[in-house]
Each structure stands twice: as C-alpha cells, then as structure tokens.
Structure 1
Amino acid sequence: MTEGSSDTLDLEALRSFVAVARLGSLAAAAEQRHRTVSALSMQIKRLETRLGTRLLLRGPRGMTPTAAGDTLLGEARELLRHHDGLVARISGRGLSGRVRFGLPEDYASRLVGRLLPDFLAHHPDVVLEAVTATSGDLARRLERGELSLIVALDRPHRLIGGEPLWRTTPVWAGARELALAPDHPLPLALHPVDCPYRHLGVEALEASGRPWHAVFTSTSIHALETAVEAGLAVSILERDRLTPAMRELGEAEGLPPLPACEAQLHYGRRVTAASWPAVEALGELLKQRLGRRE
C-alpha cells in the first residue's frame, strides 16, 4: 500500500460512523461531532464507497448497522481506542471530560472497591460521578440524558442495544431456621418497584398462585439482607450474597423457580464529544473486568 492509497480509511469518518451507529441518528451524531448533517452524511458515504459495502440502514428505530457495519463497528472502536491512546501517551495528554456512571447498589462494592479506583488512577483528569439506583431508575435516567453509561439488569425496564456482561443467579433467600406456613401469604423483604428481582419474584409468585405480602421494603440491599437473616421475611438475592445465617429456599418450601437476568452495559445518547473517549474507556474496562462472569 503506497502513501495516499485509496484503501486508507479516514479516522474522522470512522468516528462519525461510530457516533451514528451508537446514537442511531445522523442529526444526533452531527450535533455531538459539531458538524452539519450533510457533512456527516458525506463522510459515511465516502466510507461506504471506500469499503465497497453498505454500512448503515435507516429503519423505524433510526440508523442501524448492517452486518458489515457491525463488523466494522467493533474494529473501528478498537482502532480509535489504540490511536487515541497512542496520541495521549506521546503528547502527554490523557483523557478528560465528565463521566456520569450508574450502577445497581448490589454490585457497587465490587466496582467501587476495585474497578473505579483503577480507572481514575489511569485517567486522573476525568471527572467521574458514580451513582447507585435500581435498574429501572437507571434506565430512565440514561434515557433522560442524566447518565453517560450504566450497568443495569434487563428488567423491568428493557433498553435496546445493551452489551451483555454476565448472567445473574437470583434465588429465594430465607433465614437458616425459617419455617414457612404453606397456607399463609409469603412474607417478603423487597426493593421498590423498579427492582428487577422484585419484578421477577412477584411475577413468579403470581404465576404460581402463591399469595404474598411485603413485610419490609427498602432501597438498601444491606437492610434487606438483615431482614432475611433476622427471619423477618424472605427475599430474592443473588446466590453469592447468601450469608451463613441464610439458606436457599425453593420447591420444598412451595416456591417457584426464578429465571436469570442479564446484566448489560448501556451508553447514553447525549454524551458530549469531549467526554465520549473517557466514557468509552470506562465501558471497555467494565467489559474487560466483568464480561467473563457467569
């Protein structure tokens, strides 16, 4: 390949393609990239001409990648990440901008204790704001543009286009010596209505015809665990959160099986161009550290 070869890809065109694929809209991508829609459209067309294939299709959900576009999307993100990292290392300028990250409280200790400090150590100029909330609340805040990216479970508020991280293992949890009366409503300790585990537990109970009532409701996972350990109520917890004072309940206690959820990574659609490299860097770190968990 000679210098100036027609096979060379334009990095700025790749950035525009990634923005359109992520945002699903030429107008939104143009606003983020500080370009006109026509300029962005021309960049995409030149990229498609260079590669000899269609990369994006317009549909009812906006602009979506073709099969070739999906392949290019992953490779383009990796190429741009390496390019920007190289420029930062040589020039001495690291990532900057503001990253607003949302995550469920149940997983906060794993992320806040290890992953987030590592991210800030590598990118000290990034302003990071991390918040915890239920998955449903996080999804709505992402859609309103209040968050840059979130880790959330795929219910009760389903978002389109999430990148899978791991599968959860919800179980019925009760105190070690708890005895349940099968003819009495099941006493439950629950998160508020936006909680995925509350949603799937109540759904399973109602499908099986098992009556229940909420004895204890709290936004705090630690408060729910205390209520379970004290024998006050049964709750739905991740299996690895069971303590020695708890036991897993199931068919023997007349409780229906619980389906798994999927933890997913979602990016916001209103991230500024200046902050997007930092947002993507945190997203990549999340996928590297969490993507292999089952």
Structure 2
Amino acid sequence: MIDAQLLPAFVAVAETGSFTQAAARTGLSQSSISQRVRRLEDSLGKTLFLRDTHRVELTAAGATLLEYARSLLATLAEAELRVRDSSLSGEVRLGIAEDIAVSRLPRILQSYRRAHANVVLHVQIDMSLNLLERLDKREFDLVLCKRLNPRHHPEVRSIYTEPLVWVGVAGAQGIARMRPLPLALHSDPSVTRRLVLDQLKQAGIPYRVSHTSWSFAGIQAGVAAGLGISACGRGFVPHMLCALDAAEYGLPQLPSLDFVLARRQGELSRAADALADLIERNPMALEYPRLPAAHAPLEPY
C-alpha cells in the first residue's frame, strides 16, 4: 500500500523537475526528498523518474501516479477540513492575482467550499498591486498576490517564491535576440512588468513593449503569435510556451517572484482564518498545471 506521507515529496519533484527545488518548496532537505522518492519507488517496484546529471523526467509509471497523487492529496486536505470544523459560516472576501487564478488554486477553493458549505466565498481577480492597495482599504479579508520585493509590504509573510524566467514560443526564440527587444507584458500596474523593465534598464538593453494585456491569457496569445517575449514564474510557464535561457540570448537574469497571502488588519473571522491556513499549507497549488518535462529542458537536480 502506498504511504501517503511520501506523496508530497514525489509531487514536488514532478512539478518542479528538480530535487533541489522540491526541497525548497516542501521545507525538507534534498536528501529527505530523495529518500522519500526512493522509498515510494521501492514500495511500488517501479522507477518513477529518469535521472541523470542534467534532468529529472517522469517515467510513464510516474506520470500515472502523479495524477492519482494530486487527487489523493486534495481529498485528504478536504477530509481534514471537514473533520476539523464543518460548522463555519459567514462571508470571506478573497482577492487573487490574475495569473494565480489560472493555477490549481481552484482545487483548493473547491475543497474549502465542500468542507464549509455555509461560508459564502466572494472572489475578485485583479492586478497584484491593485489588490494590495484595496486590501489597505479593507475591501478584502485576504489577498493572494505577488509583491515587488520584501521591502514592499514588509508586514506580509511570503508563502512561496518562484524564479521569474523569460518565455517565448517554441521555434521562434530568435525574437529574443532582436534589439530593441520586443516584449509582451501586462499593463501597469504589474509586478512582473516592473521587474522585467527594471532589469533591462540596468543591463542597458533597449526594448519596446509591442503587446500589452490585462490578462495572463492575453500575454500568452501575444507571445504565441511571435509579437515578443515575456516573463512569468517558472512554474507558470504555459503549455504553448517554453522557458528561455537568459545567458544564451544575452538577457539579464530575472529576480524571483515573491508570492504572499496578505490579511486585512484587525481580527479575521474563523472562516477567513481557515481559508488562509489551507492556502498557506498548500503553496505548490499556485503552480500552473503542467508537467515540467513536456516542453522545456529540466534543470539539474
């Protein structure tokens, strides 16, 4: 029988494509991650990952297990919610950054709704900087978004960091060598836009913003059409795009994105506290639902 305690380590490696990154995501040591994956492989009698010095890739058995592991962990989280407290009621106002809204976060919200059917959940999507400003005006109980750096809203605790990477459409990476560099970016105010433009200015690389959109889907469409390159969290790279190696294209390395769950000042309701706790205990759910090996090389473990 599969030991469910081994599954979070397995899922972390599968979704990050890296034992190192999986350790950072879960708060475990790299050796502990490796041991848990090895124990899982031994118990199943199957190899779950193909490993060498340059890449970590799911085997067919690993890809099958990943689907069930995600479902099982979500079910366990929902069961824990129901057992802990099924009597919560009231309203919770949640603001979510637009790119996070297309991740697996909906599964967490679905689990919360099933466990707390008497809670009315109000969700609004907006840009991260707008959300933080609106939180200060007490328009939300909780806001899940990005911040520019730890000095920006220092009172908010980071729950997850994600490397920011350059992205382009497969087969048209030559766009990344053009100068001025054509870019597809969110309209301001945008954390990613400001980080990208700041790094290009510091590197002295000329650029032009050739495509803008308020939505993550709009940015994907612009990049897929070859209108420019963009940037997003490594775990958010969509299926139609691929991560670009900064050094290969003479681009500056980008800083990490800092994801935060900000709480309204003052005492929150028990319902809001329960949702905050669920999100904070499942930071990997923020990633875009894709397999890292599907479209881009994986980093060394």
Q: Judge same fold: TM > 0.5, yes or no.
A: yes
Provide the rounded CA distance (Å) in 2 between the counterparts of 1:242 and 1:120.
Answer: 27
Shift of 1:214: 1.1
Q: How does 1:36-55 map to 2 (within 5 A)?
A: none
Shift of 1:181: 7.5
- TM-score (normalizing by structure 2): 0.61
Structure 1 partner of 2:252 = 256
Q: How does 1:144-183 map to 2 (within 5 A)?
A: 144-155=137-148, 158-178=152-172, 179-180=174-175, 182=177
Structure 1 partner of 2:216 = 221
The C-alpha deviation readout for 1:222-241, integer Å capped at 9, x for no partner, is 11111111111111122231
Q: How does 1:1-294 map to 2 (within 5 A)?
A: 94-155=87-148, 158-178=152-172, 179-180=174-175, 182=177, 184-240=179-235, 241-269=237-265, 276-290=269-283
Provide the rounded CA distance (Å) in 2 between the counterparts of 1:293 and 1:135.
Answer: 14
Shift of 1:244: 4.8
Q: For the Cα contact (< 8 Å) 1:167–1:293, is it kept in 2?
A: no
Shift of 1:256: 0.5
Structure 2 partner of 1:19 = none
Q: For the Cα contact (< 8 Å) 2:105–2:285, is it kept in 1?
A: no
Shift of 1:291: 6.6
The C-alpha deviation readout for 1:31-56, integer Å capped at 9, x for no partner, is xxxxxxxxxxxxxxxxxxxxxxxxxx
Provide the rounded CA distance (Å) in 1 between the counterparts of 2:186 and 2:286.
Answer: 24
Q: Which has the higher contact order (CA 8 A, sep 6+)?
A: 2
Residues 167 and 279 (structure 1), Cα distance of their counterparts in 2 relative to 1, 3 Å cut: same
Letter in 2 for 1:165: I
Provide the rounded CA distance (Å) in 2 between the counterparts of 1:143 and 1:265.
Answer: 13
Shift of 1:252: 2.1
* 1:246 partner SS: strand
Letter in 1 for 2:214: T
Provide the rounded CA distance (Å) in 1 between the counterparts of 2:212 and 2:258.
Answer: 24
Q: Which runs of 4+ in 1 moved over 6 A?
A: 291-294
Residues 261 and 112 (structure 1), Cα distance of their counterparts in 2 relative to 1, 3 Å cut: closer
Residues paired across the two proteins, number: 203
Provide the rounded CA distance (Å) in 1 between the counterparts of 2:286 and 2:216.
Answer: 21
Moved more, 148-157 or 177-186: 177-186
* 1:194 partner SS: coil
Residues 249 and 232 (structure 1), Cα distance of their counterparts in 2 relative to 1, 3 Å cut: farther
Structure 1 partner of 2:20 = none
Structure 1: any 5+ residue segments left out of the alignment?
A: 1-84
Q: For the Cα contact (< 8 Å) 1:174–1:249, is it kept in 2?
A: no
Provide the rounded CA distance (Å) in 1 between the counterparts of 2:263 and 2:169.
Answer: 38
The C-alpha deviation readout for 1:55-91, integer Å capped at 9, x for no partner, is xxxxxxxxxxxxxxxxxxxxxxxxxxxxxx87x66xx
Provide the rounded CA distance (Å) in 1 between the counterparts of 2:117 and 2:176.
Answer: 56
Q: Which has the larger radius of gyration?
A: 1
Shift of 1:113: 2.7
The C-alpha deviation readout for 1:104-149, integer Å capped at 9, x for no partner, is 1112133553011111111111111111111101100100110111
* 1:169 partner SS: strand
